[in-house]
Structure 1
Amino acid sequence: MARPGRIVIIGAGLAGASAAGSLRDNGFTGEIRLIGQEAHPPYELPPLSKGLLLGQVDEPDWVHEPDYYAAHEIEHRRGVTAVRLRPADRVVDTDDGEEIRYDLLLLATGSRPRTLDVPGAHLAGIRTLRTLDDSLALREDLRRRPRVVVVGAGWIGCEVAAAARAHGAEVTVVAPEPLPLVRVLGERMGEVFRDLHAEQGVTWRLGTGVTGFDGDERVRAVRLSDGASLPADLVVLGVGAAPRLTLAAEAGLAVTDEVPGGGVAVDERLRTSAPEIYAAGDVAAHHHPRYGRRVRVEHWANAKEQGRHVGETLLGSPTPYQATPYFFTDQYDLGMEFRGLARPEDEVVVRGDLRAREFVAFWLREGHVHAAMNVNTWDDGDALQALVDNQAPVVVEDLQEADLPSLIP
């Protein structure tokens, strides 16, 4: 294929900025326009709920050094929003009135935090965590050691709870599920995280929802579905994120509900239903060759790796994207890495000491490894990656006792 003259990237987060860098790394000499809503240079999200929120660092991890874009002739448009996409004309309309033409386009619009549609949701003191500014503002709140109610027991909810306790805040976590992270990790691992937080002084209100917030101008209490009311100086909503699909949907691109939350339908090479438009990161519902179905992953590694990969694809690489999903967390003294995709019906096998929280957990389906999680143990990362990548056939006793590299097919 002929190389394009101008590539436009909508979304200056991790996926978009990684794609811009990948294009230059792979020899693209044409125009690159990177359009982003935020005033900051592109940054990575994990520190926002970890080191930055804890006060261990004062800046996020920048995707590239701030002077990288000018040095590599990447036009980074900050504080600009794409408001309309016209595929037939190959034009992007922006909120400042510009019409930007493209030869190829990448949608990397990311996700927005979900909120609750309940009485009192407008009150001050109810926060979400998605951006650098969100994290810095929340950190200042936590330093005042408020009474914090975290709504949601997923990754963001658990990490915010850990950071709040580190700042000395009183913390209660409310969630409708019976255990934290149960939808991702299942009951046995959910118990590990429940007990970890309880030991650190977090109060759990599981199996209950939020029906409203009370206060005058600022939140003072959280009303629960079981009739209780929790006093609160600060509420943090960690109830998930929704992919930003409006731009794609209004332009007539195929979107799908085959994945939770929906997504822009892309093929194995991350191409949308319009041949000149690709999508990467949180918005991309990607047909994954290894799993034989669509997958949409909201974690850091997926945005980074899809961004790098699509940079090559935009220049004609035929290689499909088939990386294994990966994510990590740090909460108190627990560090964890997770590889693969688990299902609730999978058999969970534990190697190591669950009580001491130094173990590896495997998720097996029909005798094959589909996911693995190492907790406070770091020696076997390469072996775990290979076992999951190959969906290795295993014997349970071998997983628990044998040298893991010896089990790689």
Structure 2
Amino acid sequence: MVDADQTFVIVGGGLAGAKAAETLRAEGFSGRVILICDERDHPYERPPLSKGYLLGKEERDSVFVHEPAWYARNDIELHLGQTVDAIDRTAKTVHFGDDGTLVHYDKLLLVTGAEPRRLDIPGTDLAGVHHLRRLAHSERLKHVLAALGRDNGHLVIAGAGWIGLEIAAAAREYGAEVTVVEPEPTPLHSVLGPELGQLFADLHREHGVRFHFGARLTEITGQDGMVLAARTDDGEEHPAHDVLAAIGAAPRTGLAEAAGLEIADRAHGGGVAVDERLRTSDPDIYAAGDVAAFHHTLFGTRLRVEHWANALNGGPAAARAMLGRDTTYDRVPYFFSDQYDVGLEYSGWAPPGTYDQVVIRGDAGKREFIAFWVKEGRVLAGMNVNVWDVTEPIQQLIRTGAEVDTEALADPRVPLDSLVP
């Protein structure tokens, strides 16, 4: 039974943490809620950092989950710019801050997120090498892209994943020259496979982006502390004024590992291992968002999902579980992206090797279509490109696991709803 004498501590001040705190109060928890964030900014959402805010189309205040006054109004003890450096599971305490603050918890939620992977090559200490994860990164990058566009400068991007492509699109909108270096044969290869990856290569080439596939950066050269060029392992050299590392993100598991919590293996994305209730190997500690590797009952495997919807929904699910509610976290993974005049939504999980065909409904040439990744007649994932209001039936097809007629699936004249059993 949860009562007013209990203290719930949330470590991590991103979307998942802020929504967890909101849910605790909405569900009637009257105890102490402590939210500890290692950034000095109030909790914010990350999609605008590579989309609207980066392009100057959204104001800075629009990225925040709540207005600053909300935390005090809801009696959330918010500690900004504070790092938790230790969890004592026996004493049930967390140690944080420069002054060595120690607080007791009855339940603890880890939403420590992920960190961008760094390029392990010479030259990364130069001033023009960037990452994108935090609000400060986006603010800096916004000024860089504007300057590159103004001066006809060159940006080299390492990685053709979602962040790499969204930054490429933003850079071209600013007028910068862009080269993307990617070891796989197509963009988004590990997510979409070769069938759809080529579509994104064509989209970006139409907007002036140059790709260098099948290669990795080996060195960033410079002069007087500034970037001059980026070299690849096949001997090519690309002129560059700035370089962006967009080679993925690693879960921030250090705190959990030091506390002796179970960590998922790399095959399942690493991360803090949690069950379907987002509970770790310690029954009083939970994890959600980018750092959590949860057992997904729908796909029968452990997944670590690094997208906005997982933080949006995972934080509240963990909060309800902490309160003792009957909770099973089995949301269909979902994310969205905007690149130039192409908007898309992706639902499901179908990495290369898990499906036997891709079914296209609509006109892929006009970039108005839905793609379905199918195995033995069952939909594993779906992506709608410039086609809207279809996420619900796509997710229903995935969730039911029912065998569908692939010819009907490909036929735009057949309503998607009619294929859901």
- TM-score class, shorter-chain normalisation, is over 0.9
Tell me if 1:265 matches 2:273: yes
Q: CA deviation at 1:392?
A: 2.9
Q: Distance in 1 between matches of 2:327 and 2:236?
A: 55
* Aligned match of 1:283: 291
Tell me if 1:336 matches 2:339: no
Q: CA deviation at 1:286?
A: 0.4
Give the AA of the match of 1:392. A
Alpha-carbon contact 1:5-1:103 (below 8 Å) kept = yes
* Aligned match of 2:139: 136
1:123 alignment partner, one of 115, 118, 126: 126
Matches within 5 A, 1:157-306: 157-216=164-223, 217-257=225-265, 259-306=267-314
State the percentage of identical aligned residues.
51
Alpha-carbon contact 1:258-1:294 (below 8 Å) kept = no
1:103 alignment partner, one of 102, 106, 111: 106
Give the AA of the match of 1:337. E
1:327 alignment partner, one of 327, 332, 335: 335
Tell me if 1:29 matches 2:37: no
Q: CA deviation at 1:259?
A: 4.0
> Structure 1: where are the runs of 5+ without partners?
none
Tell me if 1:49 matches 2:40: no
Q: CA deviation at 1:390?
A: 1.5
> Structure 2: where are the runs of 5+ without partners?
none
Q: CA deviation at 1:260?
A: 4.5
* Aligned match of 2:419: 407
**Residues paired across the two proteins, number:** 409
Give the AA of the match of 1:292. G
SS at structure 2 position matched to 1:53? coil
* Aligned match of 1:363: 373
SS at structure 1 position matched to 2:192? helix
SS at structure 2 position matched to 1:373? strand
Q: CA deviation at 1:304?
A: 0.9
310-319 vs 160-169, greater mean Cα deviation: 310-319
Q: CA deviation at 1:232?
A: 0.5
Question: Could you report, residue by residue, the CA deviation over 1:6-31 in whole angstroms, capped at 9, with x for unpaired residues?
Answer: 00000000111110000001000110
SS at structure 1 position matched to 2:202? helix
SS at structure 2 position matched to 1:67? helix
Q: Distance in 2 between matches of 1:206 and 1:337?
A: 25
Q: Distance in 2 between matches of 1:73 and 1:197?
A: 47
Q: TM-score, normalised to structure 2's length?
A: 0.95
Question: Could you report, residue by residue, the CA deviation over 1:225-277 in whole angstroms, capped at 9, with x for unpaired residues?
Answer: 11111111111110000000000001111112154441111111000011110
Q: CA deviation at 1:395?
A: 1.0
Q: Distance in 2 between matches of 1:152 and 1:101?
A: 42
* Aligned match of 1:317: 325
Q: TM-score, normalised to structure 1's length?
A: 0.98
Q: CA deviation at 1:58?
A: 2.6
Q: Distance in 1 between matches of 2:400 and 2:137?
A: 39
Alpha-carbon contact 1:286-1:295 (below 8 Å) kept = yes
